Structure formats: C-alpha cells, structure tokens
Amino acid sequence: MQELNARRQLEADLSELTRMLMRLSKMAEEALARSVWALKNQDVETARNVLDKDDALDQLTGRIDVECMNFVARFQPLGEDLRTVTSIMHMAVDLERIGDYGGNIARAAIELAGKELMKPLIDIPRMTATLSEMLEKAMSSLERREPALAREVFPLDDLVDDLEKQIMRELLLLMMERPQRIEQATLLLNVARTLERAGDHITNVAERVLYSLTGKVIRATDFRRPKER
Amino acid sequence: MQELNARRQLEADLSELTRMLMRLSKMAEEALARSVWALKNQDVETARNVLDKDDALDQLTGRIDVECMNFVARFQPLGEDLRTVTSIMHMAVDLERIGDYGGNIARAAIELAGKELMKPLIDIPRMTATLSEMLEKAMSSLERREPALAREVFPLDDLVDDLEKQIMRELLLLMMERPQRIEQATLLLNVARTLERAGDHITNVAERVLYSLTGKVIRATDFRRPKER
Amino acid sequence: MKGNVQIRSQNVNLYYGPAKVLKDITFDIFDHTVTALIGPSGCGKSSWLRCLNRMNDYIAGARVEGEILIDEHDIYARDTDVIALRRNVGMVFQKPNPFPMSIYDNVAYGPRLHGVRSREQLDGIVERSLRGAALWTEVKDKLTSSGIGLSGGQQQRLCIARAIATEPKILLMDEPTSALDPMATARIEELVRDLKKNFTVVIVTHNMQQAARVSDFTAFFLLGELVEYEVTTKIFTAPDDKRTEDYITGRFG
Amino acid sequence: MKGNVQIRSQNVNLYYGPAKVLKDITFDIFDHTVTALIGPSGCGKSSWLRCLNRMNDYIAGARVEGEILIDEHDIYARDTDVIALRRNVGMVFQKPNPFPMSIYDNVAYGPRLHGVRSREQLDGIVERSLRGAALWTEVKDKLTSSGIGLSGGQQQRLCIARAIATEPKILLMDEPTSALDPMATARIEELVRDLKKNFTVVIVTHNMQQAARVSDFTAFFLLGELVEYEVTTKIFTAPDDKRTEDYITGRFG
Amino acid sequence: MNRRRAVNGFMTAILWASAAFLVLLLLAILIYVGVNGRQPLSWEFLTEPPRDSMTRGGISTPLVGTMQLVIVSMFFALPIGVVTGLYFAEYSRDGLFTKILRLAIRSLAGVPSVVFGLFGLSLFVVTLGFGSSLLSAGLTLGCLTLPLIVTASEQAFRAVPQDYRDASYALGATKWQTIVKVVLPAASSTVITGAILSIGRVAGETAPIIFTGAAFYAPDIAKSLFDEVMALPYHIMVLATAGVNIEATRPIQYATVLVLLALVLGVSSVGVVMRRRLRRSGR
Amino acid sequence: MKNEGLPSILVAAVSSLGIFIMLFILYFLVTEGIPVLREASLQKILLEKAWYPTETPPALGMSALIVGSFSVTLLSSLLAIPLSLLVAIFISDVAPSFLRDILKPVLELLSFLPSIVLGFLGMVVLAPWLQERFELLSGLNLLNASILLGIMSVPIIASLAEEALSSVPGELRDASYALGATRWETIRRVVIPWARPGILSACLLGVMRSLGETMVVLMAAGGAAIIPESVFDPVRPLTSTIAAEMGETPVGSTHYHALFFAGLILFFMTLAINMLSAWIESKGSVIRS
Ligand SMILES: Nc1ncnc2c1ncn2[C@@H]1O[C@H](COP(=O)(O)OP(=O)(O)OP(=O)(O)O)[C@@H](O)[C@H]1O
Ligand SMILES: Nc1ncnc2c1ncn2[C@@H]1O[C@H](COP(=O)(O)OP(=O)(O)OP(=O)(O)O)[C@@H](O)[C@H]1O
Ligand SMILES: [Mg+2]
Ligand SMILES: [Mg+2]
Ligand SMILES: O=P([O-])([O-])[O-]
C-alpha cells in the first residue's frame, strides 16, 4: 500500500483518461450506429441528431488531447504509462474520425430521406454491427488489460472488408441495370467505403491497445489475410 | 550561448524529429503525386513503384512515433516542446494516411491501366497540385516557425473541396450518359474523394503546426466557408 | 473553480535595504485553491510568500510597500496583530523542522502559546491536526516519543500538523518537498491536494511537474515581477507570455 | 553499434562481510559506448562499478568472486597491478572533488604519480585532457589558480579532465551530476555523449531521463541482481522484464 | 496577548543590559591596563634586561624567555599532536587502542595546569634530570598544549573530504602518497591556525613553569636548553608579590602586563581571525 | 599497496605518546602522592582542617584547602554562569548581525586572557577597593578571587554556550515565529531546550577551568587555610597551595608528597567533571541525530 502510494495520483489520472476515451468510443460507436439506422429507416430526425452531437465529440477529443499533454507534463511517464498515454492520444484521433464518419453517413441519410430506397439495406447494418463489436472488443481489452481481446478485432476487420466488397459489387450491378440509380448508388457506395474505413481505424485502435499493454508493435496484417493488390 | 546550452541536445533532437517528419511529408506528397501521374498516364510501372515504397513510409511513421516517445522519456518536455512533440506524433499519423491514399490511387491506376480513359484527367491532377502546395506550406511553416504560412493552407482546402464537387458532378453526368462507364467512373469518384480526404488530413497537419507554434487551438473551420450540411 | 478572493496582493514592492526584490506584485488568490509559485532561483517567490505572514519583519532592512489584504484586511496596517496574523496563516518550511520535543508537544505548541490549556481540548486539537496531515494512524501509538525520530516525510507531515493546529485559513509552503525522497514527496503532494478542502494553500516549488500535479493556479515570477498568473494547465502547455514559455522549456533558469 | 567487448563481468558475486551484495552479475560492455546503470538505492550499482577499478579493495571485509575481464585480462588475478589498472580505468565521483591545488596540478596529479616529470610532456597532457573535458577554453588563462574556485559544473569537468589525464580506456562515473544544477548537468551530459569517441563510459545514475539521454545501453540492477540489460531506448519505452517496467514506472523505488 | 508582549520586552532589555555590562567591564579592564602601562613603555623597555633588583630597566630577558618556551613547546607538541590527529582521522579503527587514546587526550585537556607543573617537575626535572630548565618547562608546556593541537589537527584532517582520498586512490596513488600529497596540504592552514591558537595559550601560562624552569631572576637570556629562563607571566607575579619595592615598581608591572596582554591577544587574534576565515570559506 | 604497513605503524607509535603522558601524570601523582599516607591516614587528610605541613610532626589536613577550592569555584560559577548565558543568548538570538560579528570574536579572544593578568588586577585594583568599600582587613579574599575567576570564565562559558545556541537550526526559530510565538517564547521553549546539552557542557567546562585555575587564586584569594565563614574570608584552594609551596619544598619530603597528593585530588575532581561533560555531549548528539 505504502509502495503503490507514489503512483496513486498517476493511476487515478490515467484511469480518468481511459474513461474519457471509453466515453469517446461510445459516442463514436453511437454516431455510426444511429446514422446507419437513420439511413436505413430514412429518419431525418435521428440523422440531424447525430450531426448535432458531432461538436461534443470533437470537444471531447480536444479535451483528451490536452489532458494527455497535461499527464505528460505532470508525471514524466516512462514505460507502460508512456505507451498508454501516447496510445490514448492516437486512439482519440481514430475515434474522432469514426465519429466524423457518423456525421458523413448522417448527411447521406438526410439526402436520401424521402427518396425510395433502391434496395433494402441489409449488409450495411451488418457492417455497422461488426464495427460495434470490434470497437467494444478493443475498448474492453484496454479496460481489462487483456491483450487477447484486442487480437480478436483483426479477423473481424476482414469480415468488414468482405462485406464492403460485396456491397460494391452488388451496387455496381444495380447501377448498370438502371442508370437512374446512379446517384443513390454512389451515395451508398460511399457509405460502404466509409464503413470500411471505420474498420481500419478500429483496427488501428486495437493495435494501439496491444502496444500499450505489451510494448510490442503489432501490425494487424500479421493476423489477417494478406491484402490483395 | 551558455544559456542555451541546456537545451542544445533537446533542440537537436527536436529538429531531428522535425526533419524526419519533413521526410515523411515528402514521401507522402510524392506518393500522391506519382500515383496520380500514373493514373493520368496509365503507367503501371510508376504505380507499382508507389506501392513498393509504402512500406518505407509506414516504417518511417513507426520510427517517428517511437522517437517521439523517446523524446518525451528523455526531456520531460513542457510548453512549446511538449506541444511540438505531440503535434509531430499526430502529424505523422496524418501523413502516413496520405501516403496510404497514394497507395490506394496507385491501385486504381493499375486497374485502369490499359483501359481507355473516358475523359482526359484534368481536375484530378489540379487537385493533387493544390494538395502539394498545401503540404509544402504547412511544412515550411513548421520549419521556419511562421504561423502565417500554415494559415494559408485553409482556403486552399476549400479549393480542393470545390474541385472534388465539380469532379463528382461531372462524373455523375458522364455515368448517367453511358452506364458502361460506371465502373471506371466510380473508381475515379473514389480517387477524387480520396484526394479530398487527403486535403482534410493536410488541414489537420496545418492545425497542428499552428497549435505547436502558438499554443492556440485553431480550427480550420474558422478560416473557411461554413460547410453546408 | 474561482471562489472568493482570500489574498489580495496590490502593487506590493519589497526592498531589502536598497535592493528592490519585489516589483509591483498584484494578483488575487482564491480560497480553497492550491496556488503554486514558480520561477528561477532568487526571483522573489519566498520573499513574497514571507510577506503574507510578515516573516520578513525579522529581516533587518526589509520594507514592504503596497497592500496585502487577507480576507479584505490589510495585514500591514498599523492595527494588525502580527501574532494573530501568524495564527491565521500557517507556514511549512523547506526542511522538515519539528521541535525537539514529543510529537504531541510539537502539535500542541501553537495552541498552547495561544492560551489553550485544557488537556482535553489539546488532545482534540492534536488528533484533529494529525489526522488532517494524514499522520494520525502512523503515530497515534507513540505520541510521546520525539518528533525527531520520525522519517523525513513523516517529519514534514508533522510540521504540517503543527501548522494547522492553530486553525489557520491559509497554509504557506516553501518548497516543502525539496528535502524529501520521491515516495515521501508523493505523499505530501497527495496531502496538499487534500488540504485545499479546508485551507487556501500557497506553495513555492522548483519542480514544475510538481506544480502541475498539485496546483489549480500557477504564478510565474521573474526578477521580482509577476509575469503570468493562470490556470495551471494552461501555464504548462500553452502559456501566454513568451518568458513563461522560455522558463518552462528551460531556455533559462 | 555493438563493437568489441571491453568489460566482461562473469558470475560476479560481491560480499561485504557476510552480506552478499552482488549476485552472479554477468554481462558484457562494449567499447566506445555509454552504458548506464540504473536501479533503486542500495541495489549494488556503485558496488559493481567499484569492482571495475578495485576501489572495493579499501573496504574491510569486501570480497569478490567470479571474473571481471577488462580487455580479456582478469583484473582480480594475482598478477594484476592495481595501480596500473586504476590508470587504465578512470573514475569520476558523485560530488565534484578537485584537489585543493591549481587546475594544472589537479590534472597533472595522475601523470606525475605515474612518473611523468618533464614539463613539456605535462603541459601537453594537461591541455589535451582539459580539451577532452571541454574545459580548456574556460580555464586556459588561469591554469595556476585553484581548482576550488571554479563553479560546480566546471569542477566536475576538471575532475573528468583529471581522470582522463592518465589516458584510461574506461571511464567510470558514479552519479556525476547529482550535485549539480540543471545547466551544469546538461553540459556534463553533452560531454559524456562526446567522451565515447575516445573512451568506454559506464555511468551510474538515479535519473532515468538522464540515462535515456546519454546512454546507448542500460543495465537495470535490483537487489544485487542484473535484471535487464538492453538498448536504452527499449528499456525506457518497452522493457522486457516486468520488474524493469515496474521500476521505470515508479511502482517501487 | 499583552502580557506575552510585556514579558518579551522585559527579557530583551535584560539581555541587552547583560551584554552591555560584560562589554563595559572587559573594556574597562583593557583600558585600565593600557592607560597605566603605557607610560614606562618604550623601545628600551623591551630591549633591556631588568636592572637593580628588577626595579628598573626593561623586560628583554622574560620576553625572549617566553618566546623560547613557546618554541620549545611547539617543537615537541606540534609533530606529535599532528601525527596523533592524523592517526585519529586516517588510521584509527574503532578499536580499544583508539578508545583509550581518545580518553587519554580528552582527560589531558582537563588536567589543571598546576598538575602539569607537578608532572613536569617529577618527570623532566627530577626523573629525567633535566633540572629546572628551559627544556623541562618547554616540554611541560608542550604536554599541556598537546590535546589542543591533537583536537585541532584531527578536525582539520576530518574536514578534508573523503572524496579527495577516493579521487587520489582512483588515480592510482597509495595511501601514504595520498596523505602526503593531498590530505596534509589540504589540512595545513587549519593545522597552522590550531598551532597559533595554542601558542596564544602557552605564552600566558604561569603555573606549570613555576617549578619546572622559570627563574625568579636570570641575568641573561638562556643560551642552552638546560638554562633556566625568565618568563613574562612569572615575571609579573614576581614583581607584584615578591619584589624589592612593590609599590614603586607598579608602573613597570603595569607595562609588563600590557606587553604580555598585547603578545597573547595579538597572537590569539591572528588565530581567531584565521579560524573564522577558514570556517566561513568552508561553508 | 606495498609498504602501506610501515607508515601506519609509525603513526600509531607516535600517537601512543598521548597515552604515555597521561599514564605518566597518573603514575607520578600516585607514586609521589601516596607516600604521604604513611604520615597521615586518608581520613585525616580529607577531614582535618589543620594544614601545617612543615611543622614536626606535620599537620596534613586538607579539608580547608578542598573547601577553599569548592567555595571559590562555586561562588565564581554563581556569578559567571547567569551572565554568560545571558550574553550567549544575546549574541545568538538578539544582537543585530553587525554586533554579533564583533562580539563573537571578541569573546573568543578574551578566553585567551592570561590568568596572571587577572590575578594581578585583583591584587592591585580590586583588593584595595574591596578593602575600602567594606572596611576589611584585607581585600584578598574569597569574594575577590571569585569575581576574578568569574570574569575569567565568562568568555569561556559564553562562547561555548553561544556555539551551542547558534547551532540550533534557524528553521526551528522560523517555525516557532510562524506559529505566532514572540522572541522570548521562542528562546525559552525551542532554542534553549534544543541547546541544553551544549549549554550544560559549556558550564561544566567553565567550572572545571575555575577549579583548576591557579594564578588568580594564588594572588587574590588571600591564602589562609581556613574554612571560610563569609565571602570576605580569605581562602587557600588546592591549586594555589601547590603553586605557593612547591617551590620551597625539598624533593622527597613529606610536604612534597602531600602536595602531590593534593594534585591527585585535584586531578580526580577535574577528571570527574570532564567525563560528566563528555557524557552529556555524547548523549546530546545521540538525541539530535
Ligand atoms: N535577507 C536578505 N537580505 C538581502 N537580500 C535578500 C535576503 N533574502 C533574499 N534576498 C534576495 O532577494 C531576492 C529574492 O530572494 P528569494 O529568497 O525570495 O528568492 P526565491 O525566489 O525564493 O529563490 P529560491 O528559489 O532560491 O528560494 C534574491 O535576489 C535574494 O538574493
Ligand atoms: N562499505 C560497506 N560495507 C557494508 N555494506 C555496504 C558497504 N557499502 C555498501 N554496502 C551495502 O551494499 C549494498 C549496495 O550498495 P551500493 O552503494 O552499491 O548501492 P547503490 O546501488 O550504489 O546505491 P545508491 O544508489 O544509493 O548509491 C547496499 O545494501 C549497502 O548497504
Ligand atoms: Mg525560496
Ligand atoms: Mg551508489
Ligand atoms: O480519412 P481517413 O479516415 O480515411 O483517414
């Protein structure tokens, strides 16, 4: 007890940082989920709501960034603490980006609202569900300090990539069938592509979690199929 | 002289970091420029070359990250030094992403190579040129410690956005005219979208430069047209 | 965070003989906050601190101009009772300096001076003060043994207990951890953060990380001037004044 | 970076009387590198360092087991000439300790002991050593004034000059900056990085940031054992051993 | 509150008063001696021997005798004292010998000077057969001052930082080389200060020499170690208590006291000033 | 490494001379002093008053001498110690710094004042004044000697006590002031308690010096071997007895041995005080560290 005393404040601050990051992650996940829901259900209200919340997300990211700098200024961290705080800085950026994607998709949802959908959206929500799962895995890995959980993220990203490919092929076909669909289709294409990107960012997050926990630089590519050129 | 002595090593290390970042920036810029050139001139060789260099880019990013951590471990930076080193960490991520985009575009170039282009590429290279200019402005702002230069980046990003919009409209029209073009058009659409994103990342870099130089959090949005929803 | 102003320093100048050591120091310190004073050696941090409880009175040739108001009362006014002032403004020094008496007597020293005689009352004060200084559990079974026998960190906490035994409103600390090892330092820092519940704390420190860790506000002194007074976070990541920036990045000092 | 092995410590055990202070220390130090020894107080860093020039010989009850090879020669072998060894292995101490003689005589002390008498030769050695310690320009006009009159940082550089005047191959430094202010510390650190061109430097330090700044390799000692020996960057950002991680993150020590 | 203030003021006044009292008292003594002793003081007084049963003439013989005693005692005490100090500082281990030696030196410091006289009488004068002589008296004074020198030089050696020794060993020096080249030079000024201070003490001592070598009257300066000598302090006593015409020689007595005072305080003040300097620079 | 043994043996050998001197002092005091016990029993010597060593048979009662020593020492200490301590406190805690810088060396210097000078002044200045003022037969008496001894020991006690007082860390004083104590409260409750061992040992050393002082009492105490009934009675302490009589005593006579025995008594008395003060010092340093 006496021994750990010197680190009490440091650890309190570090968990506070982690908590902020979790909150950010929750917000990003929600933005993604709700915007896709809005897209699917053509709900402008929800889409606007996502856009309104984007500011809060940006602000939280800014705060995390400043608090990380503060943490460095206060504790001169080394080793695991240093890895963790720098990782948090990085992860915050990735998460913010994911939140932004939520905004982008919400905009798409608003554009699409009221227009008849050319097909029922099935794969896109599936992608989103997978992304949520990835994000949760990565975050609980960080929270519970269990590297194994973060590793499970990588194969899931392959799944997301597959889904995107599939959607793309499908949409291309649909477009070619009826050029009137082109506008809507490119929009959806974009959404799919965006979700694929979100997957990439979550993969980055997972890599960071692993680095902060183990000190090893782990590249997701080691855990998944080689990317075709 | 005696006075500055205590900082000599710190400053040497910091300039070394900055130099590494400049190198990364150069590599990213090149990846973008060369891949777009390859796209335009249908030069598979150059495109492959870009892809080959992607690894080096990733590695350099990793090294910058580790060296930044080292810097923190060694000098317990505060104030401007702390802002600079954390900004470098962030900028490296942005630049790496831009490099990745180069790879993406190179892949598109390879796919397109040998197929007849549906229209001569004019606006896409213009976008790339603007991006190069932006990147160079941001970097020399950092190097010469002149915030004014970095501020010039923001209006340029508006230009990039405009170009992308224009390309999109144009391509949509072309597609609708002849659905056979769809595949190629979506590819080009994607390229344009990617370049627009690169613009966003460069804007981030400029924001970071400003923050590290002035200590003020500057949002690009304050310097450009409000985004339409 | 800003509450009521507890200490108001208005155009304070301090002279040691002909040398002007503090120049026009003007700023307000808020109650129930921790305020850190930083700056290079000799910039006048300790001197200003010692103005607050008039410890400078004992230095030949020291002369204060301007006003220092504590709870809106000018402590350099004619009618100020210095002894009452010092009771109200506790002080903790750089080196732990317990008196060579028992732990109990150390803490009871101040109250006894000020006329507390009853044993029960003293017992209560001693326990409360030791608890307040996070030392009670460690020493409650050896209150009669000498304060000198404690470890450095414990000694410093004993000094804090002694200072808060007279129930001051303000606690001044002049580099309270510079003679301690990192572990003891961490405990004192934790205690300082805790003390602001009941006191207004002003702490001089050379360790900028420490200032960043414990304080809400930070004042940067340079050559007898107050250069910048700001929320701590801002001072250490993005100060407004170029000189502050230069100091915290080690360009001088 | 790894060059030739200059110091080879093989299963070194050190006893002070019955107490075993170093346990089975085995590792190699490469020439023209700076190696930092870190670890909590009392873990045996200084003790191991002092084995290298047999300064432990003067401590009653000190006993060394195992082998220490310098340039492949066992320095605890019967036929070792301790005086020649110490000439070959310079040492710089925690507190700057120039002799109370002139700057010149301080530097010339070692060479004179070892029989250099000619004035010219001494002049050359003194100049070369002072240059090597980055002190020449500051003192060249006052070589005859006392070494005590210098500032702390200059004194420490004078001690370095004195140590390298006997042209050692190895330079041992036991917390050489712990008594210095930050500015002087920075100069010494710069010098240390510079010294590896000509010497193999082994430096004990309590300041982990310092170890990170100056050294190529870092060895972490704990309770008389060598826990981890690695490239410095790795030790401070991602050490392999849990105990190293715990130490550098302040979980104990 | 007011009572506390009153007590404080009262005590402060008392403290000032006592210091003033002491200063005035001592000043009065010095001035009194100065005024009374100034008149017969002249160059001749210092350079001529006493004449006419010491009722006339000067004090050259006792003055020189005192100096001779100082020299003899220092010749004896300085080397031994310094070496003993060296032993304590450099060689001693916490053994029995060291303990006994410490005890001996400390006790020696407390032995009354008249007892040293007894010791000198029985050892040097009687047992060793030096007789009542410069040598016996000088050696007695030497023994008296030995503890002072030992303590001073031990402190001087201890004040030499251990770092110097480590540095010297680390450069390949032996212990003796280290002592000779580093420790002794570093301690020398402090040792010398200690010696000067003990000279001040020796020059004023009377009791130990009364029966070991001081002469009531000697016609001449001692030529050999085995001659008796006159000494200033003893001379004063003789003039004041056993002279031929005590009342008439009062001016001479005062002058002699003045000379002794000047000599002792002069030498001591050099020592005191040196010591303060050393202490200040040491800190 | 080689030849390290020789110097150390030499140094130890020379150092042991200190022990030898001490042993010799003891040896001679004992061998020359003990023979007196053939003439008179220890009891007689210590308890009888009559001191006529040259009569036949000699009367060797030393109680008057011993009481003389004690009374002079006691009275002088009563006079000197309070003044010394006040002065010491003044210098360490009250005096402005320029005064302190003057007073400290002056005090140190005055402890070198030769006792013969004081004895002389006692004889020629103080004695006539006392005689006149109090209409005495002689001014050479217990009071006279005590005053002089007092003057002699004030600088010694004061400068040692001052050293003890000023070694009290300034931070302790600051702490007390900062708690609202006045200066006198600080001195009484913090400074003096901290310095107590040092002050005590300073006083003891002063007493020891007074006890062993010879010339002042020889010249100013009057020299009558009686037990004093008032401060105006003359006394003949042990030291002055030895100094006054040894000169005319034949070596080896009973008187000679008796004087050595007196020396022996003196020796043990001072030794006892010395050891006491050493004990106090060592205890004090244990408390502080
Ligand atoms: N008693 C004094 N008499 C004269 N000048 C003094 C006195 N005390 C301090 N000073 C001077 O006043 C200036 C301010 O001193 P002060 O002790 O307040 O500085 P500081 O900021 O506390 O420095 P440090 O960090 O070294 O404690 C310095 O230049 C110092 O030399
Ligand atoms: N002369 C000695 N005699 C006996 N034990 C000793 C001696 N010197 C050191 N030790 C013990 O040996 C152990 C190692 O001491 P050493 O000085 O090597 O530690 P260190 O790592 O250098 O510590 P520090 O960082 O405090 O200098 C400690 O437990 C210490 O108590
Ligand atoms: Mg200060
Ligand atoms: Mg050590
Ligand atoms: O813009 P990105 O999210 O693909 O980096």
pLDDT confidence bin for E246, thresholds 50/70/90: confident
Cα D39 to ligand 4 centre (Å): 10
pLDDT digits (tens, 9 = 90+) for B86-122: 999 999 999 999 999 999 999 999 998 888 888 888 8
Q: Which of A168-172, B82-86, B113-117, F274-278 has the lowest mean pLDDT?
A: B113-117
pLDDT confidence bin for A224, thresholds 50/70/90: low
Q: Which chains touch B (3 or more CB pairs under 8 A)?
A: A, C, D
For chain E, positions 37-76, list CB contacts with chain F under 8 A: none
pLDDT of A121 above 90: no
Decide whether any atom of ligand 2 lies within 6 Å of the D21 Cβ. yes
CA distance F32 to chain E (A): 8
Share of chain C above pLDDT 70, in %: 98
What distance in Å separates the CA atoms of residue F65 and residue A118, rounded to the nearest whole number?
Answer: 132
Mean pLDDT of all residues in chain E? 87
pLDDT confidence bin for B228, thresholds 50/70/90: very low
Give the number of whichever ligand sits closest to the CA of residue D93. 4
Length of chain F in residues, anyone?
Answer: 289
User: Which 3 state secondary structure label does DSSP give A83?
Assistant: helix
CA distance E175 to chain D (A): 10
Q: DSSP character for A225?
A: P
Domain ranges within chain F, ordered by starting residue: 66-288
CB A145 within 8 A of CB A189: no
Closest atom of ligand 2 relative to the D19 alpha carbon = 5
How many of the other CB atoms lie within 10 Å of CB of A169?
Answer: 10
Give the number of whichever ligand sits closest to the CA of residue D47. 2
Mean pLDDT of all residues in chain B? 89
Q: Return the residue whose CA atom lies nearest to atom 3 of ligand 2.
A: D16
pLDDT of B4 above 50: no
At D163 the pLDDT is: 94
Residue B153 structural domain:
2-223
At F180 the pLDDT is: 87
Quick one: average pLDDT of C52-76? 89
Cα C53 to ligand 3 centre (Å): 15
Q: Does F106 touch chain C (CB under 8 A)?
A: no
User: Which residues of chain E are within 8 Å of residue F95 when distances are taken between CB atoms?
Assistant: 19
At B220 the pLDDT is: 66
At E78 the pLDDT is: 93
pLDDT digits (tens, 9 = 90+) for B66-91: 999 999 999 989 999 999 999 999 99
At A2 the pLDDT is: 40
Q: Which of B3, B6, B79 sits opposite C245 (nearest CB)?
A: B79
User: Which residues of chain B are within 8 Å of residue A71 when distances are taken between CB atoms?
Assistant: none
| Strand ranges across the sheet with D5-16 | D19-30, D5-16, D62-70, D73-74
pLDDT of B125 above 90: yes
pLDDT digits (tens, 9 = 90+) for A18-56: 999 999 999 999 999 999 999 999 999 999 999 999 999
At B105 the pLDDT is: 94
pLDDT tens series, chain D, 253 aa: 457 899 999 999 999 989 999 999 999 999 999 999 999 988 999 999 999 999 888 787 889 999 999 998 999 988 888 888 998 999 999 889 899 889 999 999 999 988 889 999 999 999 999 999 989 999 999 999 998 889 988 999 999 999 999 999 999 999 999 888 878 888 899 899 989 999 999 999 998 989 999 999 999 999 999 999 999 999 998 899 999 998 988 877 5
* Residue D157: CA count within 13 A, CB half-sphere: 28
* Residue C204: CA count within 13 A, CB half-sphere: 23
pLDDT of B225 above 80: no
Instruction: Give the pairing of strands D62-70 and D34-38.
Output: unpaired
Pocket test for ligand 2, best of D13, D45, D202, D223 (most atoms within 8 A of CB): D45
Number of domains in chain B: 1
Report the CATH number of the F66-288 domain.
1.10.3720.10
B76: left (phi over 0), alpha (psi -120 to 50) or beta: left
At E283 the pLDDT is: 42
pLDDT of A226 above 70: no
pTM of the predicted structure, to 2 decimals: 0.83
pLDDT of F167 above 80: yes
Tell me whether residue B188 is in a domain.
yes
What distance in Å separates the CA atoms of residue A205 and residue A97, rounded to the nearest whole number?
Answer: 12
CB D81 within 8 A of CB D125: no
Under an 8 A CB cutoff, do D182 and B2 touch?
Answer: no
What distance in Å separates the CA atoms of residue D83 and residue D86, rounded to the nearest whole number?
Answer: 5
End-to-end CA distance of chain D: 31
Tell me whether residue B93 is in a domain.
yes
pLDDT confidence bin for F49, thresholds 50/70/90: confident
Q: Does E186 touch chain D (CB under 8 A)?
A: yes
In this complex, does chain A touch chain E, defined as having at least 3 beta-carbon pairs under 8 Å apart?
Answer: no
Q: Does E3 touch chain C (CB under 8 A)?
A: no
Mean pLDDT of all residues in chain F? 88
Q: Which of A9, A80, A87, A211 to mutate to test the interface with D (most CBs of D within 10 A)?
A: A80
Tokens of F258: 């008796």
pLDDT confidence bin for A227, thresholds 50/70/90: low
Cα D46 to ligand 2 centre (Å): 7
Domain ranges within chain D, ordered by starting residue: 5-248
pLDDT confidence bin for E48, thresholds 50/70/90: confident
At B43 the pLDDT is: 92
Q: Return the residue whose CA atom lies nearest to atom 24 of ligand 2.
A: D41
pLDDT of F3 above 80: no
Q: Does C16 touch chain F (CB under 8 A)?
A: no
At A86 the pLDDT is: 94
Under an 8 A CB cutoff, do C248 and B78 touch?
Answer: yes
pLDDT confidence bin for A4, thresholds 50/70/90: very low
Q: Return the residue whose CA atom lies nearest to atom 7 of ligand 2.
A: D16
Q: Which of B9, B69, B73 sits opposite D189 (nearest CB)?
A: B9
Quick one: average pLDDT of E148-161? 90
Closest atom of ligand 5 relative to the A97 alpha carbon = 3
CA dihedral E7, E10, E11, E12 (to 10 degrees): 120
| Bigger pLDDT: F284 vs E142 | E142
Q: Does E4 touch chain C (CB under 8 A)?
A: yes
Closest atom of ligand 2 relative to the D221 alpha carbon = 21
CA distance D147 to chain F (A): 28
Nearby residues of F170 by Cβ (< 8 Å), 6 or more positions away: none
At A35 the pLDDT is: 95
Domain range D5-248, its CATH number among 2.40.37.10, 3.40.50.300, 3.40.50.960, 1.10.3470.10 = 3.40.50.300
Tell me whether residue B6 is in a domain.
yes
pLDDT confidence bin for C192, thresholds 50/70/90: very high
Q: Does C93 touch chain F (CB under 8 A)?
A: yes
User: Which residues of chain E are within 8 Å of residue D110 when distances are taken between CB atoms?
Assistant: 171-172
pLDDT of F124 above 50: yes
Tokens of F113: 């004042």
CA nearest neighbour of D10 among D50, D70, D89: D70
Under an 8 A CB cutoff, do D193 and B6 touch?
Answer: no
Tell me whether residue A124 is in a domain.
yes
Cα C48 to ligand 1 centre (Å): 10
Q: Which of A181-190, B62-71, B206-215, E66-75 has the lowest mean pLDDT?
A: A181-190
Under an 8 A CB cutoff, do C163 and F179 touch?
Answer: yes
Closest atom of ligand 1 relative to the C43 alpha carbon = 21
At D180 the pLDDT is: 85
What distance in Å separates the CA atoms of residue C221 and residue C201, rounded to the nearest whole number?
Answer: 17
Cα E161 to ligand 2 centre (Å): 19
Under an 8 A CB cutoff, do A9 and C183 touch?
Answer: no
Characterize F238-277 residue by residue with b for buried, 16 or more Cβ atoms within 10 angstroms of its Cβ, and e for exposed.
bbbbbbbbbeebeeeebbbbbbbbbbbbbbebbbebbeeb
Q: Among all residues of chain D, which has the CA nearest to that of C207?
A: D182
Give the number of whichever ligand sits closest to the CA of residue D221. 2
Cα C223 to ligand 1 centre (Å): 10
Is the sign of the CA dihedral D73, D75, D77, D79 positive or negative?
Answer: positive
Which residues are near ligand 1 (CB < 6 Å)?
C 16, 19, 21, 39, 41-47, 59
pLDDT of C117 above 80: yes
CA nearest neighbour of A227 among A196, A186, A185, A202: A196
Pocket test for ligand 5, best of B191, B195, B197, B205 (most atoms within 8 A of CB): B197
Q: Which of C159-173, C192-206, F209-223 has the lowest mean pLDDT?
A: F209-223
User: Which residues of chain F are within 8 Å of residue D83 when distances are taken between CB atoms?
Assistant: 1
Tally A–D CB contacts below 8 A. 35
CATH of the domain at B145: 1.20.58.220
